[in-house]
Amino acid sequence: MQNQVMIIAIAVVALAAAGGSGYYAWQQHAELQRANAELATTRASLARSSADLRAAREQVTAMQKDLDEQKGIAEMARADRDSARNLLAAEVTQGERVRAELQLMREQLAFVRGRQSPAQYAPPSVVQPRPMVIRAAPAGHAAVKAASAAA
């Protein structure tokens, strides 16, 4: 009988150990399911974040392209401004030059008006040209060199 009690005690202990290990396995399984659900949530969040990141990168690329375009437009506007400034300076210089020429013309016109009229000048006279004298060069080689050197 003692043998049977021992067997029953061992069976009860084995049954309790099996129940405890089953309970432990059940808890582990439940914890694994929670971890898997949390992992799935994290993966979904990561996928959304990745999609948001791709969208943000596309926006940044578009904005960078727009910024580069705006920089080009600004550079062209600066070049146009500088060109207009140089043209204006050239026009101012040209205007001053024209005003100076106009003033000179006014002074010349006043001078011409103040001079004697052509009728007051002496009548033209004929100028007699002077006769040219042509002389023969002395003969000889040395004389030709001297004459050509003198010329």
- Domain membership of residue 11 (yes or no) is yes
Distances (CA, A) of 125 to 71, 116, 119, 128: 78, 19, 15, 9
Q: Is the four-CA dihedral 88, 94, 98, 104 of positive or negative sign?
A: positive
- The answer to whether position 84 is within a domain reads yes
Q: Is residue 59 part of a domain?
A: yes
For residue range 61-117, list pLDDT tens digits in order.
999 999 999 999 999 999 999 999 999 999 999 999 999 999 999 998 888 777 666
Residues 144 and 137: beta-carbon distance below 8 Å: yes
Q: Is position 114 within any domain?
A: no
Residues 79 and 72: their CA atoms lie apart, in Å, by 10
Inform me whether the pLDDT recorded for 25 exceeds 80: yes
- DSSP letters for 126-151: PPPPPPP---PPPSSHHHHHHHHHH-
Q: Is residue 16 part of a domain?
A: yes
State the residue range of the domain holding 24: 6-89
Residue 150 reports pLDDT greater than 60: no
Query: What is the pTM for the complete model shown?
Result: 0.43
Q: Does residue 20 sit within a domain?
A: yes
Report if residue 54 sits inside a domain.
Answer: yes
- Does residue 132 sit within a domain? no
DSSP secondary structure string, 5-68?
HHHHHHHHHHHHHHHHHHHHHHHHHHHHHHHHHHHHHHHHHHHHHHHHHHHHHHHHHHHHHHHH
How many domains does the structure of the chain reveal?
Answer: 1
Look up residue 105 and give its two tokens. Answer: 């013309």
Decide if pLDDT at 149 tops 70: no
* Structure confidence by residue, pLDDT tens digits, 40-64: 999 999 999 999 999 999 999 999 9
